[in-house]
Amino acid sequence: MSTIKDVVKLAGVSVATVSRVLNKNGYVHEDTLKKVERAIEMLESV
């Protein structure tokens, strides 16, 4: 099972950014959103 910190390392963003993406709360630039979503998808497939 992956953690937020795994997503942070893979996407190269902060814990707060990953939290905003997961909770759909606050502003996240579209490019950053895509990076986080890709990281989550990659970790889910492992």
Domain encompassing residue 15:
4-44
**8 A C-beta contact, residue 18 and residue 8:** yes
pTM score: 0.92
3-class state of residue 22 by DSSP: helix
* Token duo for residue 39: 């990281």
pLDDT digits (tens, 9 = 90+) for 1-46: 899 999 999 999 999 999 999 999 999 999 999 999 999 999 999 7
What per-residue confidence (pLDDT) applies to 17?
98
Helix extents (H) in the chain: 4-11, 15-23, 30-44
What per-residue confidence (pLDDT) applies to 46?
78
Quote the crossing angle between the two packed helices 4-11 and 15-23, to the nearest 10°: 110
How many structural domains does the chain have?
Answer: 1
